[in-house]
Structure 1
Amino acid sequence: MSTLHRCLALLTLCCALPLHAADLRIDMGPNTHVWTTAQLLRRADAKSVTIPDDVAFHHTMRYRAVPLRALLPELAQGDRLKFVANDGFSVDIAADALLKPSGAQAWLAVEDPQHPWPSLPGNKGDAGPFYVVWINPAAAHIGGEQWPYQLARIERVDDVAMRFPATAPAASVPADSPVRHGYAVFQRTCFACHTLNGEGDARMGPDLNIPHSPTEYLSTAMLRAFIRNPQSLRRWPEGRMIGFPTQQSLSDADLDAVIAYLKYMAQHKVEKS
């Protein structure tokens, strides 16, 4: 076969292959399962779901999707799941959100290579190959960070304080302290993109305590405004932080609590060698 024929054959093969086919790894320890795009699309429980006001696309979207709970047969009350995306985003979701009959339903949207999804708004790339979407998310108090897209793997993990002790307030901090509440809010929001004291899974944003906490160089008012709208501090169209502009995405009380936590942690830096 001539070089030209080989090139033409390779080009034909590449054109015939699905463009965004991928694998999703689910590690429930000790059991691990890898699902391919084709396998998920062929499942008997795959169906078309409509998501009003989709978090990633900001309008109604329709997906071919599988009930997320059906892919996690070993899931039990009290478990925590880590969802890791290809772009460095990582978020923990409590199993209770998936197991309680609250009315909220989590679905794994699967991008069909023959019918790819549109690009994300703001030149943020693609949401595929897998995306966790929710029907009636408010019933389980599901925030925007709990809609991970570009999903690569799901893992059962220990709670954050056990995995990353340098992020946790001291045991002497009262359970009803704003710092303790702020730590919970931090895990649900900031920790999906940032590390703290060098600990965490996410790789999208900078560390929020080392070498300096934002509470050390921004006034509380400026930090509050920045968290609400990052572009209010520095106009940067390519910035990846989207902010928390509404009470639904982050209440004023939760915002004050997470700032209290950051101020506390600024006095408890842990330098990693």
Structure 2
Amino acid sequence: MPRLLAVVALCLSLLTLSALQAAELRLALPAGKRSWDSHALLAHPQARDIEVSADVSYKRTMHYRAVPLAALLQGVQAGDHLQVVALDGFAAELPAAPLLGRTGAQAWLAVEDPAKPWPPLAKGKPSAGPFYLVWIDPQQSAIGPEQWPFQVSTIRLLAPVAERFPALLPDAKADAEVQAGFAQFQKNCLACHRLNGAGDAQFGPDLNLPHNPTEYFADAFLQRYIRDPQSLRRWPQGKMPGFPPEVLSDRELQQLIGYLQHMSKRKLPPTAQ
């Protein structure tokens, strides 16, 4: 029996290593479609060893072998819009300008070395690899936690969210605060959640169907929930991160809630879209 267990453990280790070696990043950009495997990216001429302080996913300083993301975004212009899709269905909607920036916050694609795997994100969970979008000096460009997608599988050029998903749009007569709330929703929520069935995320529940959170949370409790989800609903499988004031200011939080309240009166069943 011990020998059998040892053989099983060895097979599992080999399968894990094989999966890492086979990791592939898919790009669909103006220059065309291309795939990079982890070994090719580790050997990229612009790959560097970088230090990331206050890593969003690991909550500590981390060191990575990484490639400047701009070096991989051939043909992408500052006014373009990109979507970064993770293996678990997380779909970050990102304006291209910060990703291409050479000053201020700088975006890097960290690449997990099959021979030196990163630590798990938590007990019983995988690592952030094989590819992880990390930032140096994120505070200089107000980069939020949803702009740090890990376990990345695909980066693609798409039309802006408002063009692709009109069911997300507030009424054209909505005031500037609601419009600003829509921007906050795109930045902080759309990577995990759909609304009115619209969006590409496959991670969290729809935030308008069948019910909008403003319909079942008192305002103060909704604010508290967004700030620290586990403070109201504590369970081991909870995945929603908190949004402290340094990530989402009090005014931005009110704008986001204002957008959700507005959209609670604009429910559009998926069959009607």
Compute the TM-score of the two structures, normalised by the length of structure 1: 0.91
| CA distances 1:139-191 after superposition (whole Å, capped 9, x unpaired) | 111111101000000011111110110001122224xx211000000000011
Which amino acid in the other structure matches residue 154 of structure 1? Answer: I
Contact kept, 8 Å, 1:197 with 1:271, in 2: the verdict is: yes
Output the CA distance in 2 between the equivalents of 1:208 and 1:25: 29
3-state DSSP class of the match of 2:226?
Answer: helix
Q: Report what 1:131 is aligned to.
A: 132
What is the CA-CA distance between 1:234 and the residue it aligns to?
A: 1.6
- Measured at CA, do residues 31 and 232 of structure 1 come closer, stay the same or move farther in structure 2, by a change above 3 Å? same
Once the two structures are TM-superposed, the CA of residue 17 in structure 1 deviates from its matched residue by 5.5
Contact 1:132 1:147 survives alignment (8 Å): yes
Q: Which structure 2 residue ranges, 5 or more long, are not aligned?
A: 1-6
Q: Specify the alignment match of 1:106 in structure 2.
A: 107
CA contact (8 A) 1:68 1:107 kept: yes
2:56 is aligned with 1:58: no
Partners in 1 of 2:16 and 2:101 — Cα distance?
43
Q: 1:11 to 1:205 in 2, by over 3 A?
A: closer
- Check the 8 A contact 1:145/1:189 in 2, yes or no: yes
Q: SS where residue 20 of structure 1 aligns?
A: helix
Match of 2:257 in 1: 259
Distance in 2, matches of 1:15 and 1:209, equals: 41
Alpha carbons of 1:15 and 1:254: their partners in 2 closer, same or farther (altered >3 Å)?
Answer: closer
SS at match of 2:167: helix
Mapped partners of 2:12, 2:226: distance in 1:
49
Q: Check whether the contact 2:30–2:74 (CA below 8 A) recurs between aligned residues.
A: no
The corresponding residue for 1:223 is 222
Structure 1 distance, partners of 2:38, 2:231, is 40
Q: How far apart in 2 are the matches of 1:73 and 1:190?
A: 28
Q: Distance in 2 between matches of 1:17 and 1:214?
A: 42
Q: 1:236 — aligned with what?
A: 235
Matched, 1:204 2:203: yes
How many pairs were matched up?
A: 263
TM-score (normalizing by structure 2): 0.91
Matched letter for residue 209 of structure 1: N
**CA–CA distance in structure 2, aligned partners of residues 37 and 25 of structure 1:** 11
Q: Per the alignment, do residues 124 and 265 of structure 1 end up closer, same or farther by CA in structure 2, a change over 3 Å counting? A: farther
Q: Distance in 1 between matches of 2:77 and 2:248?
A: 28
Considering only aligned residues, what root-mean-square deviation do their CA atoms show, in Å? 2.1
Q: Distance in 2 between matches of 1:84 and 1:11?
A: 30
Question: Any unmatched runs of 5+ in structure 1?
Answer: 1-6
Cα offset for 1:53? 0.9
